[in-house]
Amino acid sequence: MIMASASRPYLVEVSGVAGAGKSTLVRRICEADGNWRRAAFINARTPRHLVYIARTLPRVFPILIRNLGPRPRLSWADFKLLVYVSGWDRFFDRTPEYRGGITALDQGPVYALVRLKAQGKRVTSSAVFERWWNDMIELWADELAAVIYLDASDQVLWDRINGRAQAHTMKGEPAGVGQAFIARYRQLFEEILDRLDRPGGPSILRLDTSATSAQQLATDIQQNLADLADRHVLGGEGHR
């Protein structure tokens, strides 16, 4: 069993393009291993979370001001992504239930950074957004213990997007549109992963989900993370 340090959270993001199997994999691991928990989101309807939202405002306010210009503008869902990326580190550090064990994020900061930029909203091409984006990559390079990046062939991803019950903006679109969508997201994931892959940054595990079952992937991930935890946590180092 992996035992994370009580001094700070051990955060593992499971990330990848839509259809790669993030949510399914996180659910299987958390159900099978009591040492894993799924990360909660900061919620404006939860009174004790309001302080974390308030503390993100200095980081996101310049983006919100710039967003008041011409359309297309950031949506409410986009604003929540800004808050998650800017404030999740404090939330995890100051919430006792995240000390010990492993906290899995299946729509974590890497995913949020990619989604915000991939949508092509006008403000995301501004200098103020670029500064925030770069700062957040640096922040999460220190906070994340590992990033598990899931990918599959374009055809497998496209078939999963169109075949699953959940709604998706690309569902039913022509295949060429879907391939462009997948390529854009994959490019941005690779850009961020290249930035994170440095001494002192999170360990990065890349897995192809095209033909491997979720159960086998879960087993492979648990074995890999057990070794990482032995080095970084059981040794008393923590991740920072």
Backbone angles phi, psi at 147, to 5 degrees: -125, 125
pLDDT in tens, 174-195: 999 999 999 999 999 999 999 9
Chain centre to alpha carbon of residue 90: 16
Longest dimension (CA), the chain: 52
| Helices (H), ranges, 148-213 | 154-163, 175-196
How many angstroms separate the CA atoms of 180 and 127, rounded? Answer: 25
Residue 86: in which H helix or E strand, if any? helix 76-93
Chain centre to alpha carbon of residue 41: 12
Residue 174: in which H helix or E strand, if any? none
In the chain, the amino acid numbered 92 is: F
Residue 121: in which H helix or E strand, if any? none
Q: Are 158 and 178 a contacting pair, CB within 8 Å?
A: yes
Domains of the chain plus CATH, in order, are: 11-223 (3.40.50.300)
pLDDT tens track, the chain, 240 positions: 444 455 678 999 999 999 999 998 999 899 888 889 999 999 989 999 999 999 999 999 999 999 998 999 999 999 999 999 999 999 999 999 898 889 999 999 999 999 999 999 999 999 999 999 999 999 999 999 999 999 999 999 999 999 988 889 999 999 999 999 999 999 999 999 999 999 989 999 999 999 888 888 888 888 887 776 665 544 444 454
Q: What region does 172 belong to: left with phi over 0, alpha with psi -120 to 50, or beta?
A: left
